[in-house]
């Protein structure tokens, strides 16, 4: 899709949008990039014996899921929350991520962050950047229940209940295939975001209504809608 067509179709989608569900790790900030995911996975490995197929995973959430399947995720969950909080103190913003939250607040379009990361880490990050008051709510990972992470529809339904807005009038902006899958499950319009072409193709394949390569495009469109200047 060319840049102009992308802006036009985003404006069309936003014309019917009254609430925004926003994934956190990706569209707002890359919480666990720069090797932080691998470092955290290493820390979690100290709390649980992993089978060989997962012995070298860099994905902390995969370790949490394994612990849950073994019967108890609390020790891994506690270590994961602690590591995510540290990451929230150093992670840098995604270009356009903060602008998106500010633009939605100025447009009085409520935002609920829906994340597979811990609520505490999302709230700590938002507070560090003075954004906490600008979001309507945060739905984070249910404690020691990784089975309820997206693409399970539970967190999206919680967010929709917070908003009190019909799913058809909401978009979800996310950078994972699971974000697209759960949007389709819950009748929310899926908008993909990724700077990587390979991921963008996966998001389209997973049903994204459109895929952005820059969150500033989304923030700009929200501002244009608010000022009636599309
Ligand atoms: Mg994400």
- Compute, in angstroms, the gap from residue 228 CA to the centroid of ligand 1: 30
Q: 131 and 67: one domain?
A: no
Whether the full predicted model's pTM is greater than 0.75, yes or no, is: yes
- Compute, in angstroms, the gap from residue 230 CA to the centroid of ligand 1: 28
What is the C-alpha to C-alpha distance for residues 145 and 65, in angstroms, rounded to an integer?
A: 8
Q: 138 and 216: one domain?
A: yes
What is the C-alpha to C-alpha distance for residues 18 and 166, in angstroms, rounded to an integer?
A: 9
- Whole-number pLDDT of residue 53: 80
What is the C-alpha to C-alpha distance for residues 169 and 190, in angstroms, rounded to an integer?
A: 12
Instruction: List beta partners, residue 113.
Output: 22, 138
- Compute, in angstroms, the gap from residue 166 CA to the centroid of ligand 1: 23
Q: 182 and 98: one domain?
A: yes
- Compute, in angstroms, the gap from residue 117 CA to the centroid of ligand 1: 9
Q: 104 and 136: one domain?
A: yes
Q: 102 and 45: one domain?
A: no
Q: 83 and 101: one domain?
A: no
The range of the structural domain enclosing residue 204 comes to 3-30+93-227
Q: 69 and 18: one domain?
A: no
State the total domains in the chain: 2
Per-residue pLDDT of the chain (230 residues; tens, 9 = 90+): 667 778 789 999 999 999 999 999 999 999 998 899 999 999 999 999 888 888 889 999 999 999 999 998 999 999 999 999 999 999 999 999 999 999 999 999 999 999 999 999 999 999 999 999 999 999 999 999 999 999 999 999 999 999 999 999 999 999 999 999 999 999 999 999 999 999 999 999 999 999 999 999 999 999 999 998 65
Q: 218 and 147: one domain?
A: yes
Which of 73, 88, 103 is at the close of a domain?
88
- Compute, in angstroms, the gap from residue 155 CA to the centroid of ligand 1: 14
- 88, 59, 200, 152 alpha-carbon torsion, rounded to 10°: -90
- Compute, in angstroms, the gap from residue 65 CA to the centroid of ligand 1: 17
- The enclosing domain of 206 has a CATH number of 3.40.50.1000
Q: 100 and 72: one domain?
A: no
- Whole-number pLDDT of residue 1: 60
- Compute, in angstroms, the gap from residue 178 CA to the centroid of ligand 1: 9
């Amino acid at each position: 899709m060319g840049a102009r067509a992308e802006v036009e179709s985003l404006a069309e989608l936003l014309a019917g949008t009254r609430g925004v569900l926003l994934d956190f790790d990706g569209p707002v900030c890359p919480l666990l990039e720069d090797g932080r995911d691998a470092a955290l996975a290493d820390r979690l490995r100290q709390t649980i014996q992993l089978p060989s197929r997962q012995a070298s995973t860099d994905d902390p959430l995969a370790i949490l899921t394994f612990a849950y399947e073994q019967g108890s995720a609390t020790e891994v969950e506690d270590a994961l929350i602690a590591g995510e909080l540290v990451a929230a103190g150093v992670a840098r913003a995604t270009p356009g991520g903060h602008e998106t939250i500010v633009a939605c607040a100025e447009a009085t379009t409520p935002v609920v962050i829906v994340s597979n990361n811990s609520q505490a880490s999302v709230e700590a990050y938002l507070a560090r950047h003075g954004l906490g008051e600008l979001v309507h709510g945060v739905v984070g990972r249910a404690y020691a229940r990784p089975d309820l992470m997206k693409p399970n529809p539970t967190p999206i339904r919680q967010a929709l209940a917070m908003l009190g807005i019909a799913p058809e009038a909401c978009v979800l902006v996310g950078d994972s295939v699971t974000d697209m899958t759960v949007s389709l499950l819950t009748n929310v319009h899926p908008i993909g975001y990724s700077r990587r072409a390979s991921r963008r193709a996966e998001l389209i394949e997973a049903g994204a209504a459109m895929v952005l390569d820059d969150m500033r495009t989304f923030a700009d469109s929200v501002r244009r809608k608010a000022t009636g200047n599309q």
